[in-house]
A and B are shown apart, each in its own frame.
Chain A
Amino acid sequence: DVKVTQSSRYLVKRTGEKVFLECVQDMDHENMFWYRQDPGLGLRLIYFSYDVKMKEKGDIPEGYSVSREKKERFSLILESASTNQTSMYLCASSPLRTGSHGYTFGSGTRLTVV
């Protein structure tokens, strides 16, 4: 079964800490995405990548950065975590030409910043 795996299901960090959220996919997909999900706001795109070392800003990139050193891994970095970054973070991947399978999402990381 194809998978997108996020390293942590739950995470608690302190304000000001540098936080790394890891995502790995085993489908050889070119595209990878990071979303955050908050009540009443739905899913919002933070960053995405269409190739190794390539990245594009999504709708809400402020306060975040990303890294894609290998095709299968896409990391989201919170340089200095703040309480307003408490959220559910979802990683997704898709092939370059999105066909019948669309996007595949991970199970999410619920991050709490205290």
Chain B
Amino acid sequence: DAKTTQPTSMDCAEGRAANLPCNHSTISGNEYVYWYRQIHSQGPQYIIHGLKNNETNEMASLIITEDRKSSTLILPHATLRDTAVYYCIVRVANTGTASKLTFGTGTRLQVTL
């Protein structure tokens, strides 16, 4: 699986959009970009994933550049409960086997009043 690079930490004011970047310059054509987050003392939680088109769900939006070498997770109106570590992961999906998720150290997002 391709390696990802994320900033160590970011701050965001409550109510503003949080934009979390991820670089994955060695991504392969069949690898998806997944985002998870981990709130303190809990297990990671799936947020969103995409291949090359932008994606949106009730939690967030995912913007993937045209060359697929980077992406941005957008939380449109951050709240204090969005304070967490956010992980960007690239891997092949739907392989039919137990392909594993490899986590980096992620971005620690602190949402403040």
Contacts and interface: CB of A to CB of B under 8 A. Distances in A.
Interface of A: 4, 30-31, 33, 35, 40-45, 48-50, 56, 58, 90-92, 94, 96-108
28 contacts: A4-B43, A30-B98, A31-B98, A33-B98, A33-B100, A35-B103, A42-B103, A43-B44, A44-B103, A45-B100, A45-B101, A48-B100, A58-B100, A94-B98, A96-B96, A96-B97, A96-B98, A97-B96, A99-B94, A101-B46, A103-B36, A103-B101, A104-B46, A105-B44, A105-B45, A106-B43, A107-B43, A108-B43
B97 A50 contact: yes
Nearest to A4: B43
A90 B43 contact: yes
Contact of B43 (A31, A44, A105): A105
Nearest to A58: B100
A4 B34 CA distance: 20
A98 B105 contact: no
A35 B56 CA distance: 29
Contacts, number: 68
B112 interface: no
The range of chain B's interface size is: 20 to 34
Nearest to B35: A102
B33 to A, nearest CB: 11
Contact of B44 (A30, A99, A100, A103): A103
Given A40-B105, A42-B106, A98 B99 contact: yes
Contact of A102 (B34, B96, B103, B106): B34
Interface in B33-55: 34, 36, 41-46, 49
Interface in B85-101: 93-101
Contacts of A49: 98
B102 interface: yes
Contacts of B7: none
Contacts of B49: 100, 102
